[in-house]
């Protein structure tokens, strides 16, 4: 996800990742960076784990993985799958707070995602996928997720990329997990496909399903 008003480099960005883990970095001098793009502007140009402060408030510090190389850098990665060692078939509470290892496979957490979006303004989304040596991407010029009361409903903008526009099928859909069935299908899609997602009836894309049945993926988001 990338903030649109600052372009690809200066916007906050969030990402679902496929690449191997990279070193952890922190910035003690720049204490109030509100997103990965600000870290990049301040000279932190290596991908890794950084601390950001929502609205510059040090009491609301969150650790995130920043991708500083893809499409100008400055992306916040909010999901990565690359080896299948992390269980993504989890309950609502797990997806709310997040799980996994920021330097390996993880879901950042729906609570953190909504806090970024509401505090930092507009966002854009980029999804990168790999199947063997083949790589594709999907880019959306707007990205928004509702709060918990609105079941983390997904809103995305215009598509561009090489992967195909399968995510628009999920436009406006609430998030579903195995214990919170919010889809429109007769069955529980999260149970059927072994992972949480913004299911409809059921999906055209699902990056949190059973590993091995979808391509490796990395998702990035940034403020505009």
Spatial distance between the Cα atoms of 190 and 173, rounded to a whole number of angstroms: 13
Could you identify the residue written with the tokens 């195995």? 178
**pLDDT for the residue numbered 224:** 56
**pLDDT for the residue numbered 26:** 40
pLDDT tens, 119-172? 666 889 999 998 888 999 999 999 999 999 999 999 999 999 999 999 999 999
Mean pLDDT by 10 residues, the chain (224 residues): 28 42 40 84 95 79 94 94 95 98 96 82 89 91 95 97 97 98 98 97 94 66 62
Full-model pTM: 0.84
Spatial distance between the Cα atoms of 176 and 184, rounded to a whole number of angstroms: 10
β-strand pairing of 61-67 with 48-53: antiparallel
pLDDT tens, 170-179? 999 999 999 9
Chain-centroid distance of CA 39 in Å reads 18
**pLDDT for the residue numbered 57:** 72
Q: Which residues of 31-66 are buried (b: 16+ CB within 10 A; e: fewer)?
A: eebbbbbbbbbeebeebbbbbbbbeeeeeeebebbb
CB 34 within 8 A of CB 55: yes
**pLDDT for the residue numbered 60:** 81
**pLDDT for the residue numbered 213:** 58
**pLDDT for the residue numbered 102:** 97
**pLDDT for the residue numbered 31:** 54
């Amino acid at each position: 996800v990338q903030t649109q008003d600052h372009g690809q480099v200066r916007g906050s960005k969030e990402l679902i990742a496929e690449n191997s883990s990279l070193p952890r970095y922190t910035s003690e001098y720049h204490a109030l960076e509100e997103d990965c793009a600000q870290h990049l502007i301040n000279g932190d140009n290596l991908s890794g784990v950084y601390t950001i402060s929502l609205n510059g408030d040090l009491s609301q510090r969150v650790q995130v993985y920043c991708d500083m190389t893809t499409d100008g850098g400055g992306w916040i990665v909010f999901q990565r799958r690359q080896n299948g060692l992390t269980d993504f078939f989890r309950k609502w509470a797990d997806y709310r707070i997040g799980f996994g290892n920021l330097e390996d496979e993880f879901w950042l957490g729906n609570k953190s995602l909504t806090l970024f979006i509401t505090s930092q303004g507009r966002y854009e989304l980029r999804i990168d996928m790999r199947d063997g040596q083949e790589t594709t991407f999907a880019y959306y010029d707007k990205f928004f997720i509702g709060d918990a009361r609105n079941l983390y409903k997904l809103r995305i903008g215009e598509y561009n990329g090489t992967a195909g526009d399968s995510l628009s099928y999920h436009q406006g859909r609430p998030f579903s997990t195995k214990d919170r069935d919010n889809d429109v299908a007769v069955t529980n899609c999260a149970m059927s496909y072994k992972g949480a997602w913004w299911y409809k009836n059921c999906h055209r894309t699902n990056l949190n399903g059973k590993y091995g049945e979808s391509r490796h993926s990395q998702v990035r988001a940034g403020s505009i």
